[in-house]
Structure 1
Amino acid sequence: MTIYWTEFHHKNWRFRLAATEKGLCYASPHHLAVNEMAAFLQKQCPREEMKENKKILEPYAAELCEYWENNRQEFVSKVDLCGTPFQQKVWQALRHIPFGQTVTYSDIAKSIGKPNAARAVGAAVGANPIFIIIPCHRVIGKNGTLTGFRGGLDMKKRLLALEKGQGI
């Protein structure tokens, strides 16, 4: 199987995407090192060939651009996520956080039937390979503070402001 990847630019957003024939498997802000994507994909799919192909990734990029234009609140593209069963549960729970709302790590832990696993949920959220589409930016600390985000806290603030109709 081949993993296709490319970089996209939309206004002041730059990002990298990768997908298999089954769906999107990686999305990341551009400012992270290019070797982060390669390292992640090699770890998750060690025997797969990587090829750059912008055309294959255009439908995924289009959804992200619509989101940044405030014309999309839900992503419908297929995803192909590699992770442990626990991570898969957490990532599925993240997809159910409504646009413009936030939840805590404890809320996610309770929603997957593991009320004492907030720290493990935090680790799974941090391992999310598809930023924005799997909306880990909507998870905040129990005291309401913004917590870590692969794209940085400034990006997290911008994404939450966008979803609250405050622009970016």
Structure 2
Amino acid sequence: MPGRTLVHMNSFVWTVVPADVGPLFLAATDKGLVTVAFHAEPAVRDRELRRLAERLGGEGARDASGPLAEPIRQLAAYFEGELRDFTLPLDWSLSGGFNREVLRELAATVPYGTLVGYGDLAARVGRPGAAQAVGAAMGANPLPVVVPCHRVVETGGKLGGFSSGLDTKRKLLALEGVLPEPLF
């Protein structure tokens, strides 16, 4: 299908790619990358496919080319330590309101190799005292790594939570030079 585009509104393409932190599920719409999910073994992949079909409508097609070619390339470069800034079109349709506002602020103002506190990020969006709400937004981030929720930590430097597990968060922060590489 030369010049293929996504045919009906909110349809999506998806694939699973290997990464240093385990397989990643990626999906994109005609607007851009819409989700990244860690630990994309069959059960996680199937859960993500159901979630996307419910939220976006339409059917997903497995395809590692077209809209996913550039996200695959940039994520591979990130995990090789060759990319610090993602330059991908993003489809924000899986987040809204406060969550979207916080995630956009995070993506725009917290660069590679740096950290921000939950409370600091809340203050940046004009909601001081909303650190727990920021934590909830990070847990609901549909675009982890690309929108770097792993860079958000508790006051005092504790890691805080991470929806894909603290081991994954530690690996990402070690990749960016914020933490030492795990010994084992």
Instruction: Please report the TM-score for the alignment, with normalisation by the length of structure 2.
Output: 0.84
Report if the CA contact (8 A) 1:7-1:30 is conserved.
no
Instruction: Please report the TM-score for the alignment, with normalisation by the length of structure 1.
Output: 0.91
| Counterparts in 2 of 1:3 and 1:131: CA distance versus 1, 3 Å | same
- Match of 2:18, SS state, is strand
Q: Which residue, 99, 103, 110 being the options, matches 1:87?
A: 99
| Counterparts in 2 of 1:148 and 1:6: CA distance versus 1, 3 Å | same
State yes or no: 1:125 paired with 2:138: yes
Structure 2 unmatched ranges of 5 or more = 1-8
| Counterparts in 2 of 1:43 and 1:90: CA distance versus 1, 3 Å | farther
Report if the CA contact (8 A) 1:60-1:77 is conserved.
yes
Distance 1:122 1:77 in 2: 24
Task: State how 1:30-69 maps to structure 2 within 5 Å.
Answer: 30-31=39-40, 33-45=44-56, 47-56=57-66, 57-69=68-80
Deviation at 1:31, TM superposition (A): 4.2
Structure 1 unmatched ranges of 5 or more = none
After superposition, give the CA deviation of every residue in 1:34-93 in whole Å (9 maximum; x if it has no partner).
Answer: 233124313431x22211111121210110110011110000010001222211111111
After superposition, give the CA deviation of every residue in 1:71-126 in whole Å (9 maximum; x if it has no partner).
Answer: 10000010001222211111111102111011111011000000021111111111
Aligned-residue sequence identity (percent) comes to 35
Distance 1:35 1:124 in 2: 23
The structure with the larger Rg is 2
- Match of 1:60, SS state, is helix
RMSD value, Cα: 1.8
- Match of 1:54, SS state, is coil
Match of 2:165 in 1: 152
Count of aligned pairs: 167
Distance 1:12 1:41 in 2: 23
| Counterparts in 2 of 1:114 and 1:99: CA distance versus 1, 3 Å | same
Structure 1 residue runs of 4+, over 4 Å off? 165-168
